[in-house]
Amino acid sequence: METVNPATGEVVDSYEEDSASDIDDALARAEDSFAEWRDVPLREREQLIEAAGDVLRDNEREYAELMTEEMGKPISQAHSEIQKCQWLCDHYAQHASEYLEAETHPSPPGTTVKTVYDPMGPVLAVMPWNFPFWQAMRFAVPYLAAGNVGLLKHASNVPGCALAIEEVFDKAGLPDGAFQTLLAGSEKIDDVLADDRVRAATLTGSGPAGRAVASTAGENLKKTVLELGGSDPFVVLDDADIDAAAETGAWARNQNGGQSCIAAKRFIVHEDVYDEFLDRFVEECEALTVGDPTEEDTDLGPQAQEHLMDDLHDQVEASVDAGATVVTGGEPLDRDGPFYPPTILTDVPEGCPADSEELFGPVASVYSVSDEDAAIAKANDTEFGLGASIWTEDRERGQRVARRIDAGCTYVNQLTKSDPRVPFGGVKNSGYGRELSEAGIKEFVNRKTVWIE
C-alpha cells in the first residue's frame, strides 16, 4: 500500500497490507477488548475521550501536515480539521453521560421500568479520504463513549492518517484493541463484516460502496449507518443578501478542493437576482488561491488523485458538449499535479453530468428559476438528499423553504456543515441513519428495556 503526495507526485511512504491472519487477530483483540471496555464506567470513558482530545491538541501540526501530504488538503484547512476533532472529543467528554442517561417509563405500583443503552460490540467503519481525521473520529468518538470498540478500514490513499488515529486512542490510554486500523483492501471487507465478532457497520462513501456494505450487513442481520454522496442545492431567493450568499457560496463549493459530500454543488438562483449573484459569485471564486497546499494562504490544493481529476474533467466536458456554458475555469491547470481551478457552469441542460451526477471537485452548476416553488422543485430534482442551504432575509420564509426540501440537513443563511451538537445524515440516495449529537451515539446501542418487579 503506497501513498503518493498529490501535489508533488512523490511517494510518501509504503505500508504492508494486513493479511487474513492479521485481520483475524485484530478481530480477536476487538472481541477481548470489548469485554473489558464495556464495563469501564461511563465517566471513565468520558475522561479517556477527553484525553484523546488532548492528544490531538498536542500533535495538531504533525497530524495536519500528514493530511496535507497524503491527500493534498491545504494546511490551514488541515489544522481546522484537527481542531474540529478536538471539539468533538470535548463535546462527548462533556455530554455522553447525559445522552446515555436511562429513561424511566410508567409502570404498575411497586415496579420500575426503564430503557438503558448498552453497547453492541465491535463496529466496523469504512471511511473516505476527503476528511481523513474528521470522518473517522466522528464515528469513533461517540461509539467508543457508548462502550463499543472500533475497527477502521480507511481509504487506501491515507493509511498514515488511519494509523495516526489509532495512535490517538492508544496515547489517550484506551485498552489495547479498543480502536484498531485495518490496512486492508476493499475486497476483504465483506468477510470482516460477515464475521460474527463484528456487530454493526458504518460507511461514508459512494453509493455503490454503501449498497455493498448494506447488502452484506443485511444478509447477516447487522445494523448499518450510511452517509453517501450529495448534490446539495444552494438556493438564493430574491430577497437574499447577495454579497453574503456569493461569498459563502464560493467557499461552500470550493473548500477542501470541492471534495466534500456536503459541498454546495447546484446553485439555484431566483431570476430577479441571478445576474447580480452570478457576477459576485464569479468574483469570489476567481479570487481563491490555487496552489501549494503547504502554504498558509492557499485556498485550493490539488485534487486528491490524478484519476479523480480526470473523472471530474470528463464530467465537465460531457456537460459542455450537452450545452452547458463555462463561465470560469473548466480546464486542468498547466502545472504538475492534479490541480483544477474553481469552475462555474451555467445553461446546464437537464440530465447532463453537471445536473444529475455528483461532481466531486470545485465545479458549480448555476441555474435561474422563476420563483420560490420552482427553486424548491429544482432543489428536490435529484437522487440525493444530504444537505441544502437557503438564502433569504426573511427567516420565516427560510424555515418554510427548508421544510420543503428533501434533505437530512437544511441551513438558512449558512453553508451546510456537520457539528457535534446536531444530528448529521441524509435521505434518499444519500444514505440513512445519523451521526453526531445524541442521535449519533444511540445508533449502535442496545436500547434495552429493564423491568424490575
pLDDT tens figures, 116-171: 999 999 999 999 999 999 999 999 999 999 999 999 999 999 999 999 999 999 99
pLDDT digits (tens, 9 = 90+) for 378-407: 999 999 999 999 999 999 999 999 999 999
Q: Are residues 261 and 163 in the same domain?
A: no
Please give the residue range of the domain that contains residue 204.
Answer: 2-228+428-452
The pLDDT of residue 287:
98
Q: Does residue 419 fall inside a structural domain?
A: no
Mean pLDDT, the chain, rounded, equals: 98
Q: Are residues 252 and 223 in the same domain?
A: no
Q: Are residues 28 and 83 in the same domain?
A: yes
Q: Does residue 385 fall inside a structural domain?
A: yes
Query: Sorting pLDDT into bands at 50, 70 and 90, what band is 355?
Result: very high
DSSP conformation letters of 109-161:
TT-EEEEEEEE-SEEEEE--SSSTTHHHHHHHHHHHHTT-EEEEE--TT-HHH
* Mean pLDDT (whole number) for 45-74: 98
Query: Sorting pLDDT into bands at 50, 70 and 90, what band is 198?
Result: very high
48 touches 33 (CB < 8 A): no
The pLDDT of residue 39:
97
Cβ atoms within 10 Å of 314's Cβ, excluding its own: 11
Q: Are residues 152 and 206 in the same domain?
A: yes
Residue 15 cell numbers, joined:
505500508
Catalytic residue selected from 70, 166, 227, 435: 227
Query: Sorting pLDDT into bands at 50, 70 and 90, what band is 63?
Result: very high
Q: Are residues 237 and 190 in the same domain?
A: no
Distance, CA of 357 to CA of 292 (rounded, Å):
29
* Mean pLDDT (whole number) for 9-31: 97
Question: Does residue 227 carry a catalytic annotation?
Answer: yes
Question: Does residue 89 carry a catalytic annotation?
Answer: no
* Mean pLDDT (whole number) for 215-226: 98
User: Which residues, at least 6 apart from 356, have a Cβ–Cβ distance to it below 8 Å?
Assistant: 350, 382, 383
Closest CA to 245 of 233, 262, 230: 233
Instruction: Specify the range with the lowest mean pLDDT, choosing from 114-118, 184-188, 252-256, 369-373.
Output: 184-188
On the CB side of 447, CA atoms within 13 Å amount to 8
Q: Does residue 209 fall inside a structural domain?
A: yes
Q: Are residues 359 and 432 in the same domain?
A: no
Catalytic residue selected from 89, 161, 261, 352: 261
Looking up residue 153, the CATH number of its domain turns out to be 3.40.605.10
Count: domains in the chain: 2
On the CB side of 337, CA atoms within 13 Å amount to 22
Q: Does residue 305 fall inside a structural domain?
A: yes
Looking up residue 363, the CATH number of its domain turns out to be 3.40.309.10
The pLDDT of residue 199:
98
Proportion of the chain above pLDDT 90, given as a percent: 100
* Mean pLDDT (whole number) for 103-112: 97
The pLDDT of residue 288:
98
Query: Sorting pLDDT into bands at 50, 70 and 90, what band is 429?
Result: very high
The pLDDT of residue 130:
98
